[in-house]
Each structure stands twice: as structure tokens, then as C-alpha cells.
Chain A
């Protein structure tokens, strides 16, 4: 556990080096947030209520999505976990020699990265939303803690999916195509492109149950306190997120076992 804490701290520290990229990233997220928000405001000006959403809800979801982009890395079409490249080049052999599990090592490191980018890129982006639009804030300290817990689970789900994409390199050799499809389809089915509430309700209900929704739609609905949440309450929704996090991590651990039995590293 101490190793993981140290790796987590390293991940946090490592990403504090790229300050200019952080500012540029927050700027980009804010610009996209503002554009999406203005389109949705125009829609809600024509029709004030769509499937329980009003203009404020839609704008809030846009900025939750933009604030979590750098945390979950859901829109990245290039490999966004260094592990992917290490599988391709064979450097993963070094990782496998370590006396800690591959999954735990990368989870700790990626959560360090996620924590840092959330506070220094996600929060500023969300603040821009607060300044420019009527973005909804949590109703009290308890609600705020639940929202933060939901964001943290979103980060774990985001990691678990990217870990699986990376591991697929043991079988596919070139995973870039898979990453591209994931980075392009993810934003659509997660509620990033448009709130799922705007989709036909049957489709929206199915998408809400998939892991991608746990990275944008579910956290946004928890912040908004919607009754469309799976299970009908905040706790049901958090449970769904936790279940996806656990299931995907378990799948990751299983796949790691399969991959390490298969891998042959050349040289010596």
C-alpha cells in the first residue's frame, strides 16, 4: 500500500510540471463548453423543458463533462495511458518485473494524474462555466461530497477502460485503431456530445447503464439530483458507478493474468 501511495504522489507530481499545457487545456475546455452551452441554450429557448431537463441542467452537464474530460480522458483518440506504448515497445517487461501488480501500479499513477488535472484543469473550467452561465452547484456539503465521490468513481472507470484498451495490445499489437474508435464513440454514448436526456428515452435508459455514462451522464445527474438516475436515487447511481469500476478492474486483473502467461519478451 505504501508503494501505491508513493506512485500516486509521483503521478500527481509528474503532471504538475506541464503548467502551460494545463492553462491551454483549461482554455480549450472552456471554449468548447461555451460553444456547446450556447447551442443548448438556443434549443431550450425554443423548448424550455426536454425530458425533465431545463436550460440550467443542460448547461451544468456541459461543464461537468468539460471539467471531467482531462480526468477520464474520454475524448482522446490517441493512446492516453503510457502502458499502451510500453506494451507495443516491450518496455512493459520492466513493469512486470516489479514486485507489485501491474494493475495496482498503473491505477495509483493514473489516479495521481487524475487528481492533479481535476483540481488544476477541471475546477478552473467549471468556474468559467459558473461565470458565464447559470451552472448549478451542489445543494450542501453532503451533496458536494457525494458529487466528488461520483467524480472519483468516474476517474476509476475511465482508468479501467483505458487499461483494458492498453492490454489489448498484447493480442492486437497495434492498438491505435481501437483507441480512435473508443475516443470517438465514448463522447457520444457518455452524454458528453449531448445530454442523454435529449436522446429517445429508451436509448437514453440503456446508455445510462453502460460504463461510459458513469463518466459524464451519471455524475452530472447526481449533481443535478435527477430522478432519472439508475435506481432512482443518488445512492443507486453511485452503486452503479462502483459496480462498473469493480467489474472493469476485475476484468483488467483477469486480462493481466492471461497476458502475462502469453507474453514473450525478446532480447536479454
Chain B
């Protein structure tokens, strides 16, 4: 909480710091839910627009799934994946990005807030600015993306020939959470770019939405070079590709070590920490555009 005030007024006496970081996190979470709920009630005032929005998003998710089916229908198999296995990869990617968009999607509007000055308003409020930014214009319409993705995942998990050991059953939620965490971190990192380049929103989209487009297919089809860069540089391979390899018990067709598929949770933690650090760095170097 103290960090909220310090960039705005560095000379101010330190606000009482919450001693327990867990309690601070709990408080931030509670504020997040409260603010998100406030925005939900606001958008519910236009029920027609909200339902059209949600319906449109669900429709486009179905169209994307249709595209995956059409593509696999023509090709038979891609990178050794059948249509159901391809759908599994799609669903893992769509669910992870859908969750990130649901929780953190508004962060890519940082540039607008900086330009119009509303980011300054966020800084003087006693709520972490990231929470305010992430909940700004939070809308339940994003469920229109999440629900079809979840349905596709359940369908793909049933349709694919998966050897359900206890390990896989326990690992599945862990993989889903780490995939969502990787995507959310990428979203925050891309958003932070706008601290330094105000017009960068579209460039950030090429990482966020581009990342989703990239991971919707088995990434082996893009060739070794790209697989290595999305494994080791921008670790999007841990969103859908490595989890799918693990669930289907496949060797990696690009020849990377099999141990990688267990690294998802670790990658998620490291990336989340990196996102937090970059956010903090951006916040400290932020200078208001003035009146």
C-alpha cells in the first residue's frame, strides 16, 4: 500500500506498512473482487449491449474452434496431432489466455490512462494501482471467451486417448493455473511497455493476442527455431504445448528434453516475479504527462 503513494509524493512520510505480505495480498485480492463487482454492476445497466457482447465473444470462440477443426480436417494430422489432440492444444491455450484476459485484460489500456491523466488519479487512491488498472471496466462479458474454452477442454480431454494416472489427474489443475499465470504475466509485461512508449498498445497486442494465436496450434509446426524461442525467451510453450505433450504422453518432436514439461509451475512463478519487478520499475519511473 505504501508503494501506491510514494511515486506520487516521495517526500511523504511512509504510510503504515502492512507487516505481513500475505495479509497485504489478501487485502489486494479483496479490493480486486470489490472493484470488479462494482464494474459488473455498472455494465449490467446496459443488459442488451452486455448480452450482445458476450454472445459475440462466444460466437468468435466457436469460429476459432471451427477453424481448428477445418485446418485439421484438411491436413489430417499436424505435428503428429490428430484433430481431437489439436482441439486439446487449442482449448489449453484459449483457457489460459481467456483467464488472463478475464483477470488482467484491462492492463493493456495503461497507455490510455497515462495519456488522459486518469492514471494519476489511480496513484493517489489507497488501493494498489495494478488492482485498479486490472479491474478498470472489468466485464462479465469475458466469460463469453472462457466458457466455450472450458467446454472445449472438457470435450477434448474426454475425446483424446489419455492415460489417466493419479499424477495426471493431480497435475491437470496445476498446469491450468500455471498456464493462466504465464499468460497473465505476459499481459502485465506487455502492458508495462506503455510506461515507456505510450503508443505501444498495438505492439503489445502482437505479444498478447499474437501469443494466443501462436499457441492455439501445436507449436512444432512453426519449426525448431520458433519452438526454442517460445520455450526459452518468451515461455509461451508452457501454456499449451508442454502441457499437451505431458497429458498425451508424447515425446517432444522437436527433440527438447522431456523434463521441460514439468517446469511449467516454476516458469509461471519466475515470470510472475519478473512481471511484478518490471511493473514496480515502470511505476517508479513513471512521470505524469501533466495538466
A interface list, Cβ under 8 A from B? 18, 20-21, 23-25, 27-28, 31-32, 35-36, 38-40, 42-43, 46-47, 50, 77, 172, 174, 176-178, 180-181, 183-185, 188, 193-194, 198-199
Classify chain B's interface size. 35 or more
Beta-carbon nearest neighbor of B62 in chain A: A188
Whole-angstrom distance between the Cβ of A86 and the nearest chain B Cβ: 18
The B contact surface, by secondary structure, is helix
Shortest C-beta distance, B196 to chain A (Å), equals 12
A39–B221 contact, CB under 8 A? yes
CB within 8 A of A176: which of B49, B197, B201, B203? B49
Cα–Cα distance between A42 and B7 once the two chains are bound (Å): 50
A133 CB, min distance to chain B CBs, angstroms: 13
12 other A-B residue contacts (CB within 8 Å) besides A23-B203, A177-B56, A194-B70 = A20-B197, A32-B213, A35-B214, A39-B221, A42-B75, A42-B78, A181-B52, A184-B60, A193-B64, A194-B71, A198-B70, A198-B71
* Residues 202-237 of B contacting A (Cβ, < 8 Å): 202-203, 205-206, 209-210, 213-214, 217, 221-223, 226
Distance in angstroms between the alpha carbons of A38 and B71 in the assembled complex: 12
Given contacts A36-B213, A178-B52, contact A47 B75 (CB under 8 A): yes
A188: nearest chain-B partner, CB-CB: B63
Judged by DSSP, the binding face of A is: helix
Q: Is B50 positioned at the interface, with any CB of A under 8 Å from its CB? A: yes
Q: Which residues of A contact B77 (CB under 8 A)?
A: 46
Known interface pairs A35-B213, A43-B78; A25-B202 also in contact (CB < 8 Å):
yes
Q: Tell me whether A20 and B199 are in contact in the complex, defined as CB-CB below 8 angstroms, given that A176-B53, A193-B67, A198-B74 are known contacts.
A: yes
Q: Assuming the A-B contacts A27-B203, A188-B60, are A47 and B221 also in contact, with contact meaning beta carbons closer than 8 angstroms in the complex? A: no
Q: Is the CB of B202 within 8 A of A174?
A: no
A32–B59 touching, CB < 8 Å = no
Closest to B78 in A: A42
Contact B206 A32 (CB under 8 A): yes
